[in-house]
Structure 1
Amino acid sequence: CGRNRNILDQTYSLVEHSLYMAPTDAQIATELGFQLVLQDKLQDAVKRYTDAMKLKEINMPALTGKIQAEILLGQLEDAEQQLELLKEMQEFIGTSAVREHPLYHLIKARALKKMGKSSEAIATLKVAIALPGVRRGNTGRATLVSANVSVSDSVSVYLELAAAQHSNGEQDEAAKVMQDAIHEFAGMPEETRITIANVDLALIQDDVDTAFSMLRSILPEQPYYIEAQKKLAQIYLHKQKDQRLYISCYMYVKDRDGSLTRPEKAIEVYEQVLKKNPHDGHLVRKIGQALVKTHHYTKAIHYFETALKIGGQDFLCHDLAELLLKLRLFEKAKKVLRKALEHDFKNDLATMMNDVKCLMLLAKICTKTNEVEEALSAYSKAYDLQKRLLKRLMLEQTDIIPAQNQLAASICTEIAHLCMDRQEYDKAAHYYKEGLGFVENDPKMMADLMFKKQEYEHATFYYRRLLERSPGQPNEALKHFNKARKDSDWGQSSIYNMIQICLNPDNEIIGSNLFETQDEDFRNSEESTKKKETDQLAVTTADKLLKEYHPQTQEEQEQRTLLQNSCLMATNDRSKVEKALEVFTEMASIKKDHIPSLLAIAQACMILKLIPRARNQLKRITKINWNLKEAEEFEKSWLLLADIYIKAGKYDLATELLKRCLQYNQSCCKAYEYLGFIMEKEQSYMDAVTNYKLAWTCSNEANPAIGYKLAFNYMKAKMYMHAIDICHKVLKNHPTYPKIQKEVFEKARASLKQ
C-alpha cells in the first residue's frame, strides 16, 4: 500500500479487531507488531512483539520482528541479546540439515552495519546466502518452504549484501550480487524490489535512461509501485530539472501515502506546488477544501475568488457558494451561483453535471430564504438537465449511471417535499413516483410515499429497514418533544409522548421485578434513595403535563384516562394502584379485546402481587391477532408474560414469547436481555453472550446493567479480553457503577495474567 496512512490505519484496525476476537493467537499478535513497524511506531512494536512471544513457546517471527525494531531504534545491545536468544532457539528447533536460520545472519548484519562494521556485515551476509533456502537452486520454491525462509527474507539478504558492498566501495561485487538476485527471483512478486534497488546503482553511474526504463516498467498494480514513483519524482527534480513532471509525480505520491488526508499537512503541500503552477484550479479547490476543514474560511474564500478572477475555473463557483452558505451569507452565495449559470447551453458532460450541482445548491439556499418559487424553478431545471444528462451517459459513460440515478431521485424528493409544504399532494405524489423510477428499491422514498398514501403497514416495513441500517437515539426524544409541545399540529402528540417517557424513562417492563431486583443489588442506599426521588419527580412532571393534554376525540379521551391512571400506578402506593385497577377493569369491560386496558390491568395486578390474575389477562392478549396500531402494547404484554414464565422456570414458554417479540421488532432490547438471562441460568455462557451483546447494541451501549451482564458472561466463557473491554466501556460512562470493577474487571484481568 506504499505506507498509505489511511490504508495502514484500516489494516491495523482489522488486525487489532482480530486479536480482540482471538486474544491468544500468537500469529495475529505478531502481525499487530508488524503493523506498528509499518507505522513507524517502533517502541509500541517492541512491546507488541514481546507480548506475542509470551503466547507461544517458540515464536520466531515475533522474535525477529522485535530484533529488527530494536535495531531501527538504535537499541543495539538489546538487539544483540535477542540475537543470541534467536541463535539458541534455532539450535533448539533446527533439523540435522539446518542448524542456523538466514534471518539470524540478516539481522546480525544489520546490527553490524549500524555499528559501522561493514566488512563483518558483508561476511555474515555471505554466510546467509550460502544457507539452504536462500538460493532457489534446482529445487525452486520447495527449498524455500522446507527451510521455512520466505521469498521476502531471501531477497532482503541479497539486497542487504549488495548495499553493504556498495557502501564499502565494492561496486563490482555489488553489481554481481544484484544480477544474481534478478536471476534467482525472476517472475516473483519481490522482483520489483530488486528492480528499484538496481535503479540506485544505475543512478550512481549517472545512467538516468536505464533508471527511467526500470522504474517505468513497474505497473500500478505491482508491489512497491509507490516507492518507484518516489524515485521517479526525485529524478525529475534533481536530474532532469523538470518541475511540471516532478509536481505530477509528487502529488500522486502524497495522495497515495495519506499526507493529503491531514488538512494542515495538505495545505502545506498544495501551497508549495501551487507556487510552481499558480493557474491550476484543481489545486485551488483542494487548498480551499483543506482550509474549510481547518476553519480558515476567510482565507478559503480569498483562494476561490482569486482563482475565479483568473477565468476558466467555473467549477469553483459551487465550492465558493457552498462555503458562503455554510457562513450563512445567502445573498452572496446566490449571486455566485446565478452568475455561474449565466451561459448558453453547453453540451459537454462536465458542464452539465456542474450546472445540475449549482442549480440544486441554488434551490437549497432559496428554500432557506423562503423563496419557494425560485427554489422550485431551480429544482425543475436541475431535473430536466439531469434527465438529458442520463440519456447521454447511457451512450458515453455507463459506469456512473447508478450514482446519477440516485441524484435524479434526490431531486424528485426535494421537489416533492416542497409540494407537500404547499399542500400540492397530487404533484408531490407524482414526483415521488418519478423518483422511484430511478431507484425503485430505495427504502426512504418508499417509506415516505407509503406514509403519504396512508398505507402505514407498508410504510412501517420500509422505515424498519432504515432503522436496521441506522438505529435511533431515543434519549434525545424528550428534548425534541418538548420543542414541539406548543405546536398547533403536533403539540398534543408531543405531550402524550412526554408523559409516557416521564412515567417510564428507561422503557422498563412495568410490573416486572426480575431485572429490577437484580439492579437493586448494585445500588447502595444513597443511590436507591436518589432513584426514588427521581421517580417521584417524574410522576409529578407527568401530572403537570397531563393538564396540558386536551383530547379532541373519543380515542384521545381513552388515552387520557389511561395516562391519568398510569400516573396513579407509577406512585406504587397500594390504594392508588387499586383505584387505577378499577378504572382499567371498567375500560376493558366496555371495549372488548382492548389491548391497552388489558395490559394496564396486568401491570396493576403485578404491582399488587396478584400474579395469577395478571397472567390470565396476558394469556388472553396472546390469543388476539397482532396489529400495527397496538404493536407496542402487544410487545409489552408478551415481555411481561415471558417475565412471569422465567420466574416460574418455564424457559421454553418464555423463549417462544420472546421470539415473537423479535419477529415484529428486531431491535427489541428487552427480548434479547431476557434471552441472555435464560441462557445464563442454563450455564450456556456463549449463547448468553450472543443475546446480551445484541441487547447491548440495541441499547446503544448506554445501559450499564446490560453491559455488566455481557462482561460477566464473557468472563464466564473465559473470553477475558472481551470482558475487560466491556468493563472499560461501562466504567467510562458510569465510573461509580458498583461491582463491575471487582466482580468482573479485576477477576478477568487476573485470569488473563495466569
Structure 2
Amino acid sequence: MALIYSHKLVNTIERDDLYNLEAKLKEERKHADAKSLYYAGLFLSFAGKYEKSADYVNKSLRKDPNNLDAVILKAYNDMYLNIDMHVTIQDCLELVLSKNDKNVEGLLALAKLKYLLKDHDLSNLTLDKLIVHYPREVVPLIEKLKNEFATQRWEAVYDTIERVLSLEPTNLEALKIRIFIALCKNSDYIEAVDQLNTLYTILENEETQNGYQFYDIAQTFSKICAKSSTVVSQVYRFAQYAFEMYSSNVEYLSEVGYQCILQGKYKDALSFFKAASKIDSNSITALCGLTLCQMSDNGPTDQVAQQVELLFEMQGTNKFSILYLLSAQLHTKDATSYLNKAIDSQLSKANTHPYSLTYIKNLDPEFLLNVYKEYKKYLPKKPLVITSYLSYSQDENNVSVEKCLILLKTITDACPGLIPALHDLAKLQFQFGLPFEAEKLALHIGDMDNTHAGSQVLLAQIYIQQQQFIKAAQCLEMCLSYNFKVRDSAMYHFLNGVILKNLNQAQDALTFFTTSLHILNNKNNIGTNKHIDDFNIIDKATLYLQMIELQTVVGLFGEAGKSLQEAIQEFSYTSEENRLLIARADIALRKTDIDTAIDTLNEVKPGQPYYFQAHSKMAHIYLKEKKDRGMFTNCFKEIVSNHPMADAHTMMGDAFMSIHEPVQAAESYETAYKGNPSNIQLVKKLGVALVKMHEYEKAVQHYENAIDQLDDDELRFEYLELLLKLKQYDKVDSVISSQLNQPHNKERDTPSLKRRIKLLLTQAKSRDLKNSANTNLILSEAKDLQNAVLKRVEIDSKGDVQEEKEMLSKIIYLLSKVKAVKEPGVAAGLLSEALMYSPRNPDTLFALAKLYAQMNNPEKCEQTCGVLLNAEPNNESAAVMMADLAFRKGELETAQRHLSQILSVKPTSWEALAQLVEVQWRRGKISEVDPIMEQARLTMGKQEDPEYSYCEGVYSSYQGKVNAALRQLNIARRSQRCAGAAAKRMVLLCLSQHAQDSLREDDTRILALRTAEKLLVEVNTSERKGLHALLQLASKQKSQAERVLQELLPYVSEEGTQDDPYLILAIASAYNIVKQPTRAKNILKRTIASMTWTPEKADGLERCWLEVADNQINSGRIEAAKELLAKVLTHNKSCIAAYQYLGYLSEKDQNYKSAAHNYEQAWMHSGKSDLSIGYKLSYAHLKLKKYPECIVVCRHILKVHPDYPKIKKDILEKAKSNLRT
C-alpha cells in the first residue's frame, strides 16, 4: 500500500510495477487479519485518505471489536470526515478511556476532538493530564501549543514554544509558529528571515525527502509577509526545493510560479505554469496561474474572459476564489457581486479549521488584500483630509463598506501584526466615521514600526479632523524624520498647509498648498508615494478650496478668482460642484457681503451633495454675523427635516452645544444614537450633554449601557472619570476590580499591560481621593508592570521609549507621595529613581525638594531646587522654596531676590507674594511691597481672588490697618489653600485688639473675643491648642488660668508640643494671672534657650522673647534685655515692641537721641497708628530740641485724636514756644 502511494505521488510511468502491486494488495486484503487491516487504515489516515481508512478500520473492528487502537483511529477518521458526529465520537473515546483512563492515544484523540470543536480550554485540561504524567513528551505540548495559538494567548504561546524547543530543538511545529509570531504578531521581518533560514537548514538535514513540508511552508508564509522582498526570496527557496525534489509534481511546480508572481516576475511565473500544464493539462492551479500572467500582460481581454469562463466550467461546486477576483476585474458592472463571492468562498474555506497555520494558509491574507484593493474602486468616495464642514456624512450605512470592514477585520484578527492590512483597515475606518478606532490602529502600527510613513500621515489626517493641529504637525515631523521621500508627496504638503492655516500662519500655509497642487498636477510624480498620496476628487477639491480661502484671507482676491476658475473647470458637473458655491459664499463673506453669501448657499438644495455643509455654514453666518439664534436653529431643523439621518441629528446636537443649549443637544444626540448605537463619538457627545444638564444619574446609566454594548476602553475610562467627579469612589473601585479580574486583562502582551496599568492608576486615584492609605500595593503593581512594558519596548525597538519612561516616572512619583507620609526616606529614594527616567521633570524635582525640606535637609533641598530652576528658570514653586530656604537661614535679601524674580514674570503668584510681604516686613522695608501689590491688582483686572485678599490682609496688618486686614483676611477664608492661615492671623489680630482695649469692657472688645472664638475652629489642629488657651486667658480670670494650667502642663513634657511657642506663652500668662511670676519666668527662659527660630514659630517665639525682655527690664537686667531685643530685631526689623522697649531704656538713660531713633522706627512701622508711640517720639524730639519734627508728630496725633491727653499743653505748645525763641 505504501509503495503504491509513493508511485502515485512521484507520478511514476512504471505501470507494470504499479499493476502488480495493486493485484498483490487485493490478494492480501482477502486474508488480512484485524491487525493488518488496522495498520493499513492507519497508513491511509496519515496519507489523508480518511474514507478509505475508515473502510479498513471498520473491517478490523468487525474481526476484533476490542482493539482500542482501532476504535481510536475510527474516532480520528470520523473527526476529519464529519465533525458534526462529535457526540458519537466522544462516546466512542469515553468508552476507550473507561477501560483505561490513562490511554495516551485516547486522551490525545479526545483533546483533538475538543480542539476541532474549538473548545480549547477543555482540550487543554485533557492535555494537562498527559503533560503531568509525561513531562518529557513533546506531543502533548505541541497539541497544547496549538490550543494556545488558536486562542491567541501569546504569552502562553511563547512559554510553550520555549518548553517544546528545550525538549526538541528541531520541532517543526514550534519553529513554524515562532516564525508566524515574528511575521504576523511582531511584524519583525528580520527576525522572521533568520528563523526561516534556520528552519530551512533543519528541513534540509532532517526532512530531506519531505517535499510537502517545504511546499506547505512556502504556501503558508508567502501569504502573510506583506510581499516583503527579503521574506519572499527566503520562502521561494522552500518552494524551489520541493519542485526540484519532485519535478513532476504539478502543485509544487505551480507554487514556484505563484512565488514568482509575488516577486513581480511574471515571465518566470509563466514558464513554470506552462511546464505544470504540460504535465497535467487539466490542473486548475496551473491554468489559473497562466490566466493571471496573461491578465497582467494584456489586461482584461476577451481571451482572458473566455479562459476564466472555461475554468469555471472545469471546476465542480467548489470554485477557486481567484476566479471570482478575475471575473470582477473583467466584468466591472457585476464586480461587487464577484468580489463578495471571492470573499465568502475564501472565508468559508478557512472557517472549516480552528485558528491555526492551516487556517491562515486557507485564509490567504495576501489574496484577500488584493480583493480589497479591487473592492476599493467601488466604495463611495470619502475624503482623507476632513476640514470643518466635511465632518458630516449624508450616507446611510453602506453594505460594501461593511463587507470590507469585516474582511479587513478578519485579516487583522488572524494576523495582528500584518501592517498593510492594519493600515488599510485604519484608513477605511477613518473615512467611514470611525476615527477613534482608526487612531488606535494607526498608533498600534507606529508601535510596531515607527518608520511606517503611512500610519503617521493617517494620524495627522485624524488629528486634523479632531482639530488637534499641534499633534498633527508632530506626526508629520516624525514621518519626515524617518522617510525623506514624503517631501515629494502632495498629501504631505497639503496636510502641512491645513495645519499652518489653522495655526494662523496663512502665508506659509499658502506656500504648502501651492506645492501640493503642483506635485498633484505633475504626471511624473504619480505613483511615487502611493501609500501616502491617496488623493481622490474630494481631497483635490478641498485643496483648491483651502487655497482659495487663504488667498482671500491675505487679500489676494485676484489670485483667488483665478483659482476658483481653475476649480470650476476641474469640478463642473462632478459631485464637488456644489462646494464651489460654498467657496463663492466664503469670498462674499470675506468682502462682508453677508446677504450674497446666504443667497449663494441657498442655491444648494435638499438632496444635492454638500447640502448639509452649505446649510450648516449658513446657520453659522446667521449666528456670528447676524446674531440671529432663531435662524441658526431653524437652519439645522431644516437640515434634519430634509435628511432625518443620524449625522443630521448629530450636526444639530453640535449646533445646540455651541450655543450652550445642552437639553436640546441631548435630544438631537439621542435621536442620532438610536440610528447609530455603535458610534463611540456619539456616545461621548450624548454623555457630555447629559453632564452639562446636571443629569448625572442619566449620564452614568448612559455610559453603562454603552459599555455593555460596545465594550470600549475609551468609554470605560471616560465613565470612570465621571464617577470620580461624582465622588462615587466605591463604584469606581468595584468596576475596576471587576475589570482587573477579567482574563483579557491578565494577558502579558503590551496592550493588555498598558490597559491594566491605566486601570490600576485610576483605581489608585479613586482610593487616594477616598483614603490614601490603600494605594501602596496598587501603585507598586503598576510600577512593576510599567517596568515590564519599558523593557519590552527597549528590546523590541517598537514604540516610544521616552514616553514609557515618562509613564514609569509618573507612577513612581505617585508611589512616593503615598510613602512620604510615614517613610520619607523611602519616598526620597523613589523620587530619585523617578528622576532616572525623567531627569528634568518639574513635579518630581519639586516633590523631592519639598521632601528634603520636610526631612530637615536644607542642603539637598537647595541643591534640588537649583536643578529645577536650571531646567525651568521661572518655576514658581522652586523659586518660593529657595526663598523659604534663604528665609530660614536668615538671608532675607536672597529670599527677596528669588521672590521678586518670580513676581516680575508672574505678578499673580500668590504664594510668592504672601512670602514677599513677610520677608519685606522682617527686613523693615514693607513700603517697597506697595508697587508689587499694585502690579498684582492690575494683572487681576476686575476679577476677585481670595488668595490675593490674603496677601492684602497680611500687608494691611503689617501696616497697622487692623480693620482693613480683618476684612481682607475674611475674604481669604474662601480659599482652600489660605483658609487656615487667614483664620490664624484673624485670631491673633482679634487678641491684639482685645489687649489694646483691655481697660474698656465695651462691645468692641467682647466682639473681638467672640470673633476669635468662632474663627478658632478653622485654624489647623496642630496650631489650635495654644491659641485657644490665650483666648481663655483674655478674661484675666484666675479660674480660667488654673484651668489652662491644668490642661496644658501635661503637654509640655510630650514630644513636639513644647515647640509650640503660643502654648508656652499661654502657660506663662496663666502663671502670672495666678500670681506665680517666678514659674512664668522660668518656663519662658527654658523655652527661649531650647527653641530654634523657624518661620512657622517666628511670631510666637518673638512674643516669648519680648515677654522675657520685659521681665529682665523689670528686674534690672538691662544688658541682657538689650541683647535679647537685638536678637528680636535681627529676625524682624519691623518689631514695634522691640523698638519701644529700646526707646524706653534709652529714655531711662536720658539718651534721647537713641530713644528718638527707636521711637521713630516704632512709629513708622506701626503705620503711625499707635498714638502712644507718637507721644513718646514727640517728647524725645522735644528733649533733643528738634522742634519742627516734634510739631509734625504732635499735629498728626491731634488730627487723629483731637483730645489726646497732655500732648497739646506739655509738648506742642512748648515746642512752638521754643521754636519762636
Q: TM-score over 0.5 for the alignment?
A: no
Give the number of the structure with larger relative contact order, counting CA–CA contacts within 8 Å between residues 6 or more apart. Answer: 1
Q: Whose Rg is larger?
A: 2
Q: TM-score, normalised by structure 1?
A: 0.42
TM-score w.r.t. length of structure 2 = 0.28
